[in-house]
């Protein structure tokens, strides 16, 4: 008696439905629009695609690698590969799905190299990920955040300044008024905790 | 229960708040390739509203242009022209964005901001070690530069709970858009500011309020257990409450009601889940409930309410309809 569930799409809890539907229509159009542009004028199409997804993709990659700089490198590389191999002519999914999948895989490979048990030889190619691995990547993202939340306050602060913001040890030491040696110790601790808790995910 | 995966459920999953059952549900749902597309669509949307940082896209695009092989490189070596055009387009886009959001951009440069979507709560540690918990549909911002050193000013719209570190020389302030300012002297408290109403609840420590009433600047010192309410066009009110921590129970997805009427609840559902509420029969809005419930989604909360009062509800196009 509760809810005519089939009535309006598969989403009874839709928030602000009208606005949402518009956004979605716009998004669909954008994808098609960018696809057409990439055919007619690749440079222009690429610039629009880049502008649209670079920011959110960087934010997403950061959740895995926890460094603005590495995240931006990863995303730029994915875009460059997309361009240089002219993947816009062959990708069958939406560009959005392709870009997110590629960035996630690349971030995952980066973590594997940094924290994994052994060095991986070659990064796995971008495939249509199966549902299980899509969810697993989401879980890994949460796990990383939760792990960082458990760091003692000072250690967390040092970790975020050093890793996330990319600040130098000396600067951090000055700012927090601690010795550079202490900064190093905090970082060692943070990284070893991360390595330990992430080992299950990075096999 | 049939397999219903919606945006809210996925947003919870992205924020790491899915039960194993939900995860299984999502995994099944992802079996359909069309849903994989939806997944990334919503992931992109979630990243836009919960962005960890905003990179400099224009510079990145220019850098990448230097490494690009031209699209027609094999046939015509017209790289310089291409590159020029490329930059030009980038500039045009940048200008357009700038024109559309000069205000936003200025804010973006000067302030760091964080926001939560409907149905989402989130905790943030500020550079000075203070902790803010944001309730759903809430935005806070603070200076990108010098927070903790030159100032400790936070701007709030929505509802948030604060645990502030003590610093005698740098007072912590919370400014709302209602001419209400909270001056903190090391403490735990909750500020609510939505629509025409603003409230402050103090749990521990001491805060000073500054607000305007009848065009006069006023000051008020709160004691723990004080609940201050300001309503547009009405007199401000100061009450003593027994359990101030109840007013921040939303941090743990707990909903506490003490003879709360359905009409009051309607406001809360609107604030936190973005759903408006309609009563088929006006007398329904006067019925009330008491007790504490755990609910992660609007549906869970509505189920509880419907069961308790033995009434029905349906949700259509962003509106909850309650009926006998």
pLDDT value at residue B107: 56
Average pLDDT over residues A26-38: 68
Architecture per CATH, domain A18-129, reads as Orthogonal Bundle (1.10)
Mean pLDDT of chain B: 77
Of A47-51, A117-121, B28-32, B169-173, give the lowest mean pLDDT range: A117-121
Instruction: Indicate yes or no: CB of B68 within 8 angstroms of CB of A68.
Output: no
Q: Which residue has the higher pLDDT, A123 or B316?
A: B316
DSSP one-letter code for B72: T
- The fold of A130-203 is Arc Repressor Mutant, subunit A (1.10.10)
Return the residue in B19, B57, B136 with the most chain A beta carbons within 10 A, the one to mutate for interface testing: B57
| Residue boundaries of the structural domains of chain A | 18-129, 130-203
Report the chain B residue with the minimal C-alpha distance to residue A76.
B64
What is the share, in percent, of chain B residues with pLDDT greater than 90? 4
For CA atoms B105, B106, B112, B114, give the dihedral sign.
negative
Reported as a single tens digit per residue, the pLDDT across B247-271 is 777 777 777 777 778 888 888 888 8
| CATH number of B122-244, picked from 3.30.110.70, 2.60.120.1440, 3.90.180.10, 3.30.1360.120 | 2.60.120.1440
- B88 and A CB contact within 8 Å: no
Q: Both tokens of residue B135?
A: 């309730």
Instruction: Indicate yes or no: CB of A5 within 8 angstroms of CB of B2.
Output: yes
- B69 three-state secondary structure: coil
SS (H, E, C) chain A: CCCCCCCCCCCCCCCCHHHHHHHHHHHHHHHHHHHHHHHHCHHHHHHHHHHHHHHHHHHHHHHHHCCHHHHHHHHHHHHHHHHHCCHHHCCCCCHHHHHHHHHHHHHHHHHHHHHCCCCCCCCCCCCCCCHHHHHHHHHHHHHHHHHHHHCCHHHHHHHHHHHHCCCCHHHHHHHHCCCHHHHHHHHHHHHHHHHHHHCCCCC
Q: Which of A2, A72, A97 sits opposite B312 (nearest CB)?
A: A2
Q: ipTM more than 0.90?
A: no
Mean pLDDT of chain A: 79
- The fold of B253-323 is Phage tail protein beta-alpha-beta fold (3.55.50)
pLDDT class of A98 with cuts at 50, 70, 90: very high
Instruction: Indicate yes or no: CB of B68 within 8 angstroms of CB of A84.
Output: yes
Distance from CA of A132 to the nearest CA of B (A): 6
Q: Which of A15, A96, A135 sits opposite B318 (nearest CB)?
A: A15
Distance from CA of B122 to the nearest CA of A (A): 12
pLDDT value at residue A64: 94
A162/A172 Cα distance (integer angstroms): 7
pTM, full prediction: 0.49
Instruction: Indicate yes or no: CB of B297 within 8 angstroms of CB of A13.
Output: yes
Q: Which of A10, A15, A55 sits opposite B57 (nearest CB)?
A: A55
Q: Both tokens of residue B242?
A: 């027994």
Distance from CA of B2 to the nearest CA of A (A): 9
Q: Which residue has the higher pLDDT, A153 or B260?
A: A153
Using a CB-CB distance cutoff of 8 angstroms, which residues of chain B are in contact with residue A105?
none
The answer to whether the beta carbons of residues B7 and A11 sit under 8 Å apart is yes
- B116 and A CB contact within 8 Å: no
Using a CB-CB distance cutoff of 8 angstroms, which residues of chain A are in contact with residue B304?
none
Instruction: Indicate yes or no: CB of A156 within 8 angstroms of CB of B125.
Output: yes
Report the chain B residue with the minimal C-alpha distance to residue A165.
B53
pLDDT class of B165 with cuts at 50, 70, 90: confident
- B66 and A CB contact within 8 Å: no
Average pLDDT over residues B163-181: 79
pLDDT at A43 over 90: no
Instruction: Indicate yes or no: CB of A12 within 8 angstroms of CB of B118.
Output: no
pLDDT value at residue A22: 40
Q: Both tokens of residue B44?
A: 């992109």
Instruction: Indicate yes or no: CB of B55 within 8 angstroms of CB of A58.
Output: yes
A77/A93 Cα distance (integer angstroms): 19
Using a CB-CB distance cutoff of 8 angstroms, which residues of chain A are in contact with residue B68?
80, 83-84
Instruction: Indicate yes or no: CB of B85 within 8 angstroms of CB of A43.
Output: yes
| Residue boundaries of the structural domains of chain B | 7-49, 57-108, 122-244, 253-323
Instruction: Indicate yes or no: CB of A14 within 8 angstroms of CB of B6.
Output: yes
Instruction: Indicate yes or no: CB of A76 within 8 angstroms of CB of B48.
Output: no
């Amino acid at each position: 008696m509760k809810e005519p569930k089939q009535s309006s799409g598969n989403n009874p809890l839709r928030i602000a439905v009208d606005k949402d539907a518009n956004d979605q229509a716009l998004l669909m159009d954008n994808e098609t629009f960018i696809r057409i542009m990439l055919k007619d004028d690749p440079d222009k199409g690429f610039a629009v695609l880049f502008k649209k997804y670079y920011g959110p993709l960087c934010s997403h990659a950061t959740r895995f690698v926890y460094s603005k700089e590495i995240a931006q490198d990863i995303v730029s590389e994915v875009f460059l590969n997309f361009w240089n191999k002219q993947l816009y002519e062959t990708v069958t999914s939406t560009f959005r799905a392709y870009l997110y999948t590629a960035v996630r895989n690349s971030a995952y490979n980066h973590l594997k190299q940094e924290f994994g048990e052994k060095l991986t030889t070659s990064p796995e190619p971008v495939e249509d990920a199966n549902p299980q691995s899509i969810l697993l990547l989401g879980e890994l993202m949460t796990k990383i955040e939760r792990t960082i939340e458990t760091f003692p306050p000072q250690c967390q602060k040092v970790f975020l300044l050093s890793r996330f913001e990319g600040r130098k040890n000396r600067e951090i030491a000055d700012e927090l008024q601690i010795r550079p040696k202490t900064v190093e110790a905090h970082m060692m601790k943070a990284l070893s905790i991360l390595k330990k808790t992430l080992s299950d995910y990075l096999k | 229960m049939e397999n219903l995966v919606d945006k809210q459920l996925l947003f919870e999953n992205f924020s790491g708040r899915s039960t194993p059952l939900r995860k299984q549900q999502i995994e099944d749902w992802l079996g359909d390739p069309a849903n994989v597309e939806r997944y990334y669509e919503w992931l992109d949307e979630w990243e836009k509203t919960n962005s960890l940082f905003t990179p400099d896209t224009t510079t990145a695009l220019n850098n990448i242009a230097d490494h690009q092989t031209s699209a027609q490189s094999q046939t015509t070596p017209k790289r310089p022209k291409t590159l020029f055009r490329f930059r030009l387009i980038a500039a045009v886009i940048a200008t357009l964005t700038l024109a559309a959001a000069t205000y936003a951009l200025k804010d973006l440069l000067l302030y760091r901001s964080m926001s939560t979507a409907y149905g989402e709560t989130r905790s943030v540690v500020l550079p000075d070690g203070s902790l803010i918990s944001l309730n759903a549909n809430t935005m806070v911002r603070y200076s990108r530069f010098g927070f903790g050193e030159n100032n400790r000013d936070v701007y709030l719209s929505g509802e948030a709970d604060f645990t502030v570190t003590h610093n005698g020389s740098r007072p912590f302030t919370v400014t709302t858009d209602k001419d209400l300012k909270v001056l903190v002297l090391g403490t735990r408290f909750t500020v609510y500011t939505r629509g025409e109403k603003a409230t402050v609840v103090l749990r521990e420590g001491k805060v000073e309020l500054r607000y305007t009433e009848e065009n006069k600047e006023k000051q008020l010192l709160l004691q723990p257990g004080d609940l201050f309410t300001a309503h547009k066009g009405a007199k401000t009110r100061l009450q003593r409450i027994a359990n101030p921590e109840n007013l921040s129970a939303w941090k743990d997805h707990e909903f506490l009601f003490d003879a709360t009427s359905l009409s009051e609840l309607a406001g809360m559902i609107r604030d936190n889940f973005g759903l408006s509420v309609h009563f088929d029969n006006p007398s329904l809005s006067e019925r009330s409930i008491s007790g504490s419930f755990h609910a992660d989604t609007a549906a869970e909360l509505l189920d509880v309410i419907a069961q308790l009062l033995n009434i029905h509800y349906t949700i259509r196009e962003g509106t909850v309809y309650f009926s006998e």
